[in-house]
Structure 1
């Protein structure tokens, strides 16, 4: 989970999740529970992560980059917590990442 490539895959997964989510607030990862990779036409990462809602509202124009590390997690009972399984394909030589699958449940 501490590998920089895993961290990048996790960031891509969270960014894709936030783009597709209809929540008013951004989510960010709080803990990578498990990370595996498979070499294909790129690297496929299988990630299990915990995420929490932040205090940052989704008011920006789509496509704007939000630095989630500057978004504080929502306090106490206000915070929605998720446990998610992500499958992310990273193609380093094309500088691309794609969220292939995700499944999130509230915890």
Structure 2
């Protein structure tokens, strides 16, 4: 009888610990090592900006548009520490008035009343090896 009661208490204690642990774990999930973290000020994050310049250059090189596109708005940005860094960014881009290939497309103005595109880019960066690779990109009309 004592053994059955002890097992029941142990089972109840295990259930309580599991429930409390999962509730606390969900709250702190963003702070786990290796978990993606939101970049709160993407305009000022140099690593993100470099990765984004690379992603947009790859986007421009890989499409058949006559005009170069550029970022008009960063919608969201996340960073994840892996064997390097993964930057995942959602942006709104638009064509500029500059024909391809421009020397500095950041100084090119956006075409008035142009169609906007929403893109999700993931850039893998290994800074100590000077390596950068666009691992994923998906774009659709805004």
TM-score when normalising by structure 2: 0.66
Within 2, Cα distance between the matches of 1:33 and 1:16?
19
The structure 1 residue matched to 2:71, chosen from 6, 9, 29, is: 29
More helix by share: 2
More strand by share: 1
TM-score when normalising by structure 1: 0.86
RMSD: 1.3
The structure 2 residue matched to 1:50, chosen from 92, 113, 122, is: 92
Deviation at 1:96, TM superposition (A): 2.4
Which residue number corresponds to residue 66 of structure 1?
103
Q: Which structure ranks higher in relative contact order (CA pairs < 8 Å, sequence separation ≥ 6)?
A: 1
Alignment: residue pair count: 100
Deviation at 1:91, TM superposition (A): 1.3
Structure 1 runs, 4 residues or longer, greater than 6 Å off: none
Mapping for residues 73-84 of structure 1, pairs under 5 Å? 73-76=110-113, 79-84=114-119
Deviation at 1:102, TM superposition (A): 0.5
- Unpaired runs of 5+ in structure 2? 1-41
CA distances 1:21-46 after superposition (whole Å, capped 9, x unpaired): 11111100011111111111211111
